[in-house]
Amino acid sequence: MAKKTKIRARVDMPMQDPAERRTNFEEVALGYDKEQAVMEASRCLQCKTPTCQSGCPVEVDCKGFIRSIVQDDIEGAYALIKATNSLPAVCGRVCPQEHQCEGHCKLNPTGKPIAIGRLERFVADSYYAKNPCDALTGQDTCAMLRDDIRVAAIGSGPSSLTVAGYLAARGINVTVFEALHELGGVLTYGIPEFRLPKSIVHTEVENLKMQGVKFKTNWVGGKTVTIDELFEQGYKAVFIGVGAGLPKFLNIPGESLIGVYSANEFLTRVNLMKGYRFPDVDTPVPMGSHVAVFGGGNVAMDAARTALRLGASNVSIVYRRTKNEMPARLEELEHALEEGVCLECLAQPLGFEGNDQGTLTGVRLQRMELGKPDASGRCRPCCVEGETYILKADLAILALGTGPNPVLLDATPALQRTQWGYIQGDEQTGETSIPMVFAGGDIVTGSATVVMAMGAGRKAAKVIAERLLGDA
């Protein structure tokens, strides 16, 4: 009888100490060194049929690049990743690998899947591209840009950056129009420095610039430029990757009190406007001693952990279900708890309370309990009659999700929308109701992951290239 092979534990990722990291905005996860990466990569079974690749929205050859790490071929590993993933250093940090590549790893049932995301990050951070073409395609040369074919991308988030990289590598001129003064979309304004250093985003953007991609900031789609005007200017196709940046609110009493913010505004002030460096920069950031964050996703974790770093004494995440139902990545939730964030579960806000000056002093919460599963499969939260209480708070942050910003959509009535107000796009191509206008990312799906947006961008870019060049 064959003896079962004992599966070695995953190699732990070095981290900043929780007590130290809650006082700074430096990256929490420090990354593998070479020895740790090789040790982790050597755990890979090199399956005949690698299910990990099918779990990746951009179909990275996980088996191949992991094998290259073991063989001490970082350049080869980088080339394999770059063949399908335009932003490996980003994905290695913020993608929910536990539900994607690692979730499909054949070792996942053991609780010890290969740390594919951490290895992807190691490769991207270790490899220094020889030139911008190599950074984009993993090859020494790229196609010469053609003057007769131009494509526009509206928004500069992960889906648009993926479109730009794919098309530029095939000789197509791409211009990216961004409404804000900095590039990167949600990668820049939404994700804190301690999770995704902005130097990583800047590097990816600079590589695209050197490849010939043009970027125009302070151009608002639907206002500064419209889709019709882009076609009139000679663009052959337009990709819409504007994300979903319209914050959702609770619509309960007291929501207009001083001290109640959407997570969008709070995180944008800190991340995009560098408010965490105030007064060295001119952007003031709302400070609170007792902070309540509403929501249970990654944005709620980002907001809570940011509030701690800004000096809050107490930070509580208020969620109407339990910890087990929170949609946030387990790693982000664990990091938040390690840093001192508290969970106020089975509680639903009824109204905000303030003083005579109109300033927030607390929030009235309704005690909840879990009932039968709803349509989503999660247990429905139900009110516990007569049980309400006050949670002290001088700063409240609403991380309740986002909807589609209407500016571009209202200016383009020919764009068909879904019942939720997002752009209706073909599932196979990303093409909208307007010919040669494509869309991808959160403006189509609603709030999702970075790599899902990248996958949508890659899918659309393939179709655009095929139509404009006659091949993919």
370 with 256, same domain: the answer is yes
* Tokens 């010890």 -> residue: 112
- Cβ-contact 293, 399 below 8 angstroms: yes
Q: What is the 3-state secondary structure (H, E, C) of 45-88?
A: CCCCCCHHHHCCCCCCCHHHHHHHHHCCCHHHHHHHHHCCCCCH
**Final residue in a domain of this structure, among 398, 428, 460:** 398
User: pLDDT at residue 18 above 90?
Assistant: yes
Angle, alpha carbons 4-10-16 (nearest 5°): 165
Predicted confidence at residue 138, as pLDDT, reads: 54
Pair type for strands 146-154 and 172-178: parallel
Q: What is the 3-state secondary structure (H, E, C) of 86-149?
A: CCHHHHHHHCCHHHCCHHHCCCHHHCCCCCHHHHHHHHHHHCCCCCHHHHHHCCCCCCCCEEEE
69 with 201, same domain: the answer is no
247 DSSP assignment: E
What average pLDDT score do residues 260-270 get? 96
Q: How far apart are CA 85 and CA 166, in angstroms?
A: 10
**Torsion of the alpha carbons at 443, 430, 448 and 286, rounded to the nearest 10:** -30
191 with 285, same domain: the answer is no
Predicted confidence at residue 472, as pLDDT, reads: 46
- Cβ-contact 447, 402 below 8 angstroms: yes
406 with 394, same domain: the answer is no
Domain span at 370: 249-398
Any domain includes 15: no
Q: How far apart are CA 305 and CA 331, in angstroms?
A: 13
Question: Taking the CA atoms of the chain, what radius of gyration do you get in angstroms?
Answer: 23
230 with 326, same domain: the answer is no
Report CA 357 to chain centroid distance, whole Å: 38
User: pLDDT at residue 23 above 90?
Assistant: yes
What average pLDDT score do residues 363-391 get? 92
Any domain includes 17: no
Any domain includes 12: no
pTM: 0.91
355 with 264, same domain: the answer is yes
Any domain includes 13: no
393 with 406, same domain: the answer is no
- Cβ-contact 441, 428 below 8 angstroms: no
Predicted confidence (pLDDT) per residue in 195-208, tens digit: 999 999 998 898 88
Any domain includes 135: no
156 with 234, same domain: the answer is yes
289 with 383, same domain: the answer is yes
Predicted confidence at residue 3, as pLDDT, reads: 57
Q: What is the CATH number of the domain that holds 79?
A: 1.10.1060.10
User: pLDDT at residue 470 above 90?
Assistant: no
265 with 355, same domain: the answer is yes
- Cβ-contact 34, 94 below 8 angstroms: no
Predicted confidence (pLDDT) per residue in 43-62, tens digit: 999 999 999 999 999 899 99
Predicted confidence at residue 134, as pLDDT, reads: 60
In 3D space, the residue among 138, 140, 142, 141 whose CA is nearest the CA of residue 81 turns out to be 138
Any domain includes 34: yes
Predicted confidence (pLDDT) per residue in 100-117, tens digit: 999 999 999 999 999 999
List the single range of 215-224, 298-307, 355-364, 367-376 with lowest mean pLDDT. Answer: 367-376
Give the chain's mean pLDDT.
92
**Final residue in a domain of this structure, among 337, 366, 398:** 398
Predicted confidence at residue 224, as pLDDT, reads: 96
Predicted confidence at residue 82, as pLDDT, reads: 87
Any domain includes 295: yes
Q: What is the CATH number of the domain that holds 200?
A: 3.50.50.60
Instruction: Write out the two tokens for 139.
Output: 């090859």
Any domain includes 157: yes
In 3D space, the residue among 301, 307, 346 whose CA is nearest the CA of residue 328 turns out to be 301
Predicted confidence (pLDDT) per residue in 231-258, tens digit: 999 999 999 999 998 999 999 999 999 9
Residues contacting 314, CB < 8 A, separation 6+: 289, 290, 291, 342
Confidence of residue 2 (pLDDT cuts 50, 70, 90): low
279 with 328, same domain: the answer is yes
Total count of residues recorded for the chain: 472
**Final residue in a domain of this structure, among 398, 423, 449:** 398
Q: Domain count for the chain, please give it.
A: 3
- Cβ-contact 352, 360 below 8 angstroms: yes
Predicted confidence (pLDDT) per residue in 398-450, tens digit: 999 999 999 999 999 999 999 999 999 999 999 999 999 999 999 999 988 89
36 with 166, same domain: the answer is no
Q: How far apart are CA 155 and CA 158, in angstroms?
A: 9
